[in-house]
Structure formats: structure tokens, C-alpha cells
Amino acid sequence: MSTTAKELQNPSSGKSAEVVSLFCRSLSTIPLQWEKLQGCPEAERLNCLSTLGPQFDQSVCDVYSFPKACEVSIVEYNGQTVSAMAYTIPGTEYKASEAYTYQYFRDHWNLLPAERRAWLDNTVEPAIDALTKTFNFNTDDVINLNLMATDPNWQGRGLGKSLLRRLTTLSEAWKLRFASSLLLKAGSGFIKGQASERTGGKLSLCPAAELLLWSP
């Protein structure tokens, strides 16, 4: 099968449902996200939409009238999405979608039990803030990999590599770093494997192996 990633533009209702479902299944395999979202599939869906935006919301009638919230690349097999990633590019206008993505976030937050919200506020967020302060770059100036998932039946076939190659190509063409926090992402073992394959210090993990960073 071809493992070439392609950009997803104006997804159909069926395609957007595939992508959201794939990301939701992936989130359930991440310990932090499982602890956060367990037992609440609607919170999972809204959490994904807080990144993907209204273009991927099945409850919206005219998705094409909404601005995009991020870029989405996919790998397909016989028309079925088997791997996908969502990322943002600095300098690209996503502000028009912020009111929608914020509302998705608030709606998902309100579905979580009070004790889980307290745990996130008092334990998880301070840890993420402390990690961010150790970065030696402005996170607004990098290509941010926000979501990445491969169908479990298709893992180990180079699909994730194909998606990462798309980002490294963009990174080198535009002379931009790309980064992804592994605190909230699946596949940290895969990401670490990709880092170990690279030479010349271009692809690295820092600090405390919590961040994947590519420098062109």
C-alpha cells in the first residue's frame, strides 16, 4: 500500500467522522487522557474537536462555512483513513476558529467530574507549565504537532513515519522547527525510535524526553 501522506481539505461528513473516531480511539490509549476522559465518550469527541474545529463536527450542518482550526494530513487505504495527524503552522490564520474551539474545550471540561477537573488544575497543568518554561524557544514560532494516530491494525507499516516526513519536509522548506509534547500524545515509543534513527542533532528529545523537536 502507498504510505504517502496527503493534506485533507474540506472533509466530507463521512471523512471527518473517520478522522475524529481515529483520534478518539488513540486518546484512549494514552494514560493521561484515559485518566482524564474515561467513561465519557462525548468528552473525548469534544476534546478532539477543540483541536480540529467545527469543520469536523458532525452536528454542524454547513461545515464548509466555518474556518479551519488546524491542518490535517492523512494516510488512506482503499479510501479509508488509517493514519492521521493535526498540526498548526505559525503565521497561518486560525483565530477565526478560536471561539469555536474554546467552546468545544469548555463543553468537554464541563462534562468531567469535579474531582477530575481539580486533579487537572492542581497537578497536570502546573507540570505542563513547568515543562514549557524549560523550552529555549517560543512555542508560537514552531510547527505544532497536536494530534497523531494510526489505526492499531495498521501500526508498524511506516504510516507514522510518512506523516512525520511531511512535517520534516515543511520544516526544512520554511526553516521552522516543529515540536510535539509527548505529555499528551500517543506513540512516545515510536517517536523516540524516530529520534534515535536521526543523526546530526536534527531530531531530538528534550527536556526529560517530553518534547520531540526537529530543527531544520
pLDDT tens digits for 92-103? 778 778 888 999
pTM: 0.80
Contact 71, 7 (CB under 8 A): yes
pLDDT cut 70: percent of the chain above it = 75
pLDDT tens digits for 161-209? 888 888 878 888 888 877 775 443 444 444 444 444 443 444 444 443 3
**Partner residues linked to 203 by β-bridges:** 214
In this predicted structure, the answer to whether residue 135 has a pLDDT above a threshold of 90 is no
Sheet holding 203-205, edge to edge: 6-7, 71-77, 80-88, 143-150, 178-181, 211-214, 203-205
Contact 18, 78 (CB under 8 A): no
Contact 109, 103 (CB under 8 A): no
Contact 55, 66 (CB under 8 A): yes
**Partner residues linked to 42 by β-bridges:** none
Sign of CA dihedral 61, 66, 72, 77: positive
**Partner residues linked to 179 by β-bridges:** 144, 213
Give Cβ neighbours of residue 10 (< 8 Å, ≥ 6 apart).
55, 64
Give the class (CATH, top level) of 6-214: alpha beta
The one-character DSSP state at 186 is S
pLDDT tens digits for 54-83? 889 888 766 667 788 999 999 998 888 999
- How high is the pLDDT of residue 155? 82
Nearest in space to 142 (alpha carbons), one of 175, 180, 93, 178: 178
Give the residue-averaged pLDDT of 13-35. 83
Give the residue-averaged pLDDT of 42-61. 88
Contact 87, 52 (CB under 8 A): no
| Amino acid in position 210 | E
